[in-house]
Chains A and B, each alone.
Chain A
């Protein structure tokens, strides 16, 4: 569990965030929580977002109805995160190309993927543990 917390920090608030800011990471994680119907995680990431000194733009990413608007980079980030959180089976080579066309470097594509993948993992561990506690 300590490793899970350390990975949480590495994915959400890394010392070297590369091309994905801390507020963007918290806001995207908040979307992932919403897509998973995970209210406790939604609140957790919202608090993280509030504490990250987010600009209005980054905060809007957490709004599930916001698709990035006219910002092509944000639009690509949101599209990819929603897809990989909800239906990773539908992801193809084209989805990575779309991120590149939106200006993401390969390292940032990997950072983004780790963020979605890790948060999806953490939400499932918590959901499973909650079911276990329900048995007691």
Chain B
């Protein structure tokens, strides 16, 4: 019996979609192309198979996602993950928060920052630089966005350069997108052991 997870965790849950993932046997050529399905690569997550229902969007979404999260230069990969985590907290996407908090921990070999954020949110006692990054991400993720000139100034004061700020804007916004898919189209489950 698996259980829906409602609290933030770094244990990555299983994502169970509410809608039926695309059946590869019924997929159109454009869908197979977007999924990069080849005879030697037929393993695709349910999440991507759900998104394949809107193949035109998916085709552009994947490269955009990789560019925002993994391109060279600018904000460090770990700090981009904090942008993702900030958005996921606001939107309460347990799954995205778990995956990206886990990546932060993996990249930095430090679990204290995420533990503090999951416990205290924007009140977490973390370094001023990380706090400015988290605050900005959380405020930009509200609807309407709550980020203002003082939050931007806080990023500059914390030592972020323009290219780093741009990456933070992109990673936080990108997770506003991802959360609105992941959290609304399915639920995070933890199997009992």
Contact = CB atoms under 8 A, between A and B. Distances in A.
Contact of A120 (B170, B177, B187): B177
19 contacts: A7-B61, A15-B56, A88-B183, A97-B18, A106-B53, A110-B19, A110-B54, A110-B185, A113-B180, A113-B185, A114-B57, A114-B61, A117-B179, A118-B57, A118-B177, A120-B177, A124-B145, A131-B148, A134-B149
Given A36-B143, A110-B50, A114-B181, A7 B57 contact: yes
Main secondary structure of the interface of A (DSSP, over half): helix
Contacts of A84: 180, 184
Given A7-B64, A35-B144, A121 B174 contact: yes
A9 B51 CA distance: 16
Nearest to A86: B143
B158 interface: no
B24 interface: no
Interface string B161-182: 0100110111011101111110
A125 interface: yes
A89 B181 CA distance: 11
A39 to B, nearest CB: 11
Interface string B14-39: 00001110000000000000000000
B151 interface: yes
A89 B144 contact: no
B177 A132 contact: no
B183 A89 contact: yes
Interface residues of A, number: 48
A18 B141 CA distance: 29
Contacts of B169: 124-125, 128-129, 132
Nearest to B55: A16
Interface string A21-45: 0000000000000011110000000
B132 to A, nearest CB: 13
A70 interface: no
Contacts of B53: 106-107, 109-111
A18 B54 CA distance: 9
A47 B153 CA distance: 34
Contacts of A10: 54, 56-57, 59-60
Given A95-B184, A116-B180, A135 B152 contact: yes
Contact of B54 (A37, A88, A111, A124): A111
Given A38-B144, A120-B143, A132-B162, 9 more contacts: A3-B64, A35-B143, A88-B93, A95-B184, A106-B20, A110-B19, A110-B50, A124-B172, A128-B165
